């Protein structure tokens, strides 16, 4: 279902039209739809077993500390998150452009040494076992690259991506579940104009919406259910 089909479904559910639905302002209605779409995106990430849902990947250069000043991207190993990032999942780094190593995630207070002194950082962390921490809409790569020359695309990050707002197209949800957004929008109409609907009608509507919401959650909980733990060749032969 595209935007028009979703809204038409919401109109039918509430016996309204574009003029009488919510405040009758098409721009506001579209904003409300995108808010509900964002909520549903977060709901998917909350219940899903598929840990790779909405995953995207991006590269950025690993910056040499040589010549960087405070505030520059890469200074003290700090890199700004992409504007579309909801939650980081995995980071790999290459200090030579050839060998890639996954970064272990750590918390600021896990490190008892300075996070600003270059010598402390690079004596605590090694390029053979890099680490990353997340804070303040940024990620920090450890150790620092102190030798001259940046590594082109030396950082590879996977992250859960924020949905793109709808204009006329369809949501990035399972096609069979697009109607959940129509029910979400209809529910907003009921909240805005409660006197239009009888107690019995609202009860029946909420029951139906709850039924579809259960289908929505069950689908994303079980879409890629798994118990397997990957064992590498190194683990198998050790």
What's the rounded Cα separation, in Å, for the pair 82 and 64?
Answer: 20
ω into residue 143 within 30 of 0, thus cis? yes
Of 85, 61, 87, nearest to 74 (Cα)?
Answer: 61
Q: How confident is the model at residue 237, as a pLDDT? A: 45
Q: What percent of the chain has pLDDT over 90?
A: 86
136 contacts 76 by C-beta, under 8 angstroms:
no
Q: How confident is the model at residue 140, as a pLDDT? A: 98
Identify the residue whose tokens are 């040499």: 64
Q: How many CB atoms lie within 10 A of CB 228?
A: 5
CB contact set of 28 (below 8 Å; sequence gap of 6+): 22
Q: How confident is the model at residue 100, as a pLDDT? A: 97
Higher pLDDT, residue 209 or 52: 209
Mean pLDDT of 10-18: 98
pLDDT digits (tens, 9 = 90+) for 182-232: 999 999 999 999 999 999 999 999 999 999 999 999 998 887 665 555 554
Higher pLDDT, residue 169 or 46: 169
- Using alpha carbons only, how large is the chain's radius of gyration in Å? 24
Mean pLDDT of 63-70: 94
Kindly state the DSSP code that residue 140 receives in the 8-state scheme.
E
Can you give the pTM of this predicted structure? 0.82
Q: How many CB atoms lie within 10 A of CB 182?
A: 24
Q: How confident is the model at residue 196, as a pLDDT? A: 96
The size of the chain, in residues, is: 238
Does position 49 have pLDDT exceeding 90, yes or no?
no
Of 86, 124, 84, 92, nearest to 108 (Cα)?
Answer: 124
pLDDT digits (tens, 9 = 90+) for 75-131: 999 999 999 999 999 999 999 999 999 999 999 999 999 999 999 999 999 999 999
What's the rounded Cα separation, in Å, for the pair 103 and 90?
Answer: 8
Q: How confident is the model at residue 54, as a pLDDT? A: 75
Q: Is 124 exposed, middle or buried (0-12, 13-18, 19+ CB in 10 A)?
A: middle
Higher pLDDT, residue 236 or 21: 21
């Amino acid at each position: 279902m595209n935007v028009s089909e979703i809204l038409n479904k919401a109109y039918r559910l509430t016996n309204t039209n574009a003029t009488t639905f919510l405040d009758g302002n098409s721009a506001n209605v579209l904003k409300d739809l995108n808010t509900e779409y964002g909520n549903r995106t977060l709901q998917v990430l909350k219940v899903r077993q598929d840990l790779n849902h909405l995953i995207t990947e991006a590269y950025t250069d690993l910056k040499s500390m040589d010549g960087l000043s405070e505030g520059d991207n890469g200074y003290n190993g700090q890199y700004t998150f992409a504007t579309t990032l909801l939650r980081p999942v995995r980071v790999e780094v290459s200090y030579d452009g050839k060998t890639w190593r996954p970064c272990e995630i750590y918390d600021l207070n896990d490190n008892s040494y300075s996070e600003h002194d270059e010598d402390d950082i690079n004596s605590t962390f090694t390029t053979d076992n890099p680490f990353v921490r997340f804070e303040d809409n940024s990620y920090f790569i450890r150790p620092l690259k102190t030798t001259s020359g940046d590594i082109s695309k030396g950082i590879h990050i996977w992250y859960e991506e924020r949905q793109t707002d709808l204009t006329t197209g369809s949501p990035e949800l399972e096609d069979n579940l697009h109607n959940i957004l129509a029910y979400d929008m209809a529910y907003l109409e009921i909240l805005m104009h409660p006197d239009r609907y009888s107690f019995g009608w609202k009860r029946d509507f909420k029951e139906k919406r709850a039924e579809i919401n259960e289908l929505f959650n069950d689908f994303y909980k079980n879409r890629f259910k798994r118990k397997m733990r990957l064992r590498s060749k190194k683990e198998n032969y050790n």
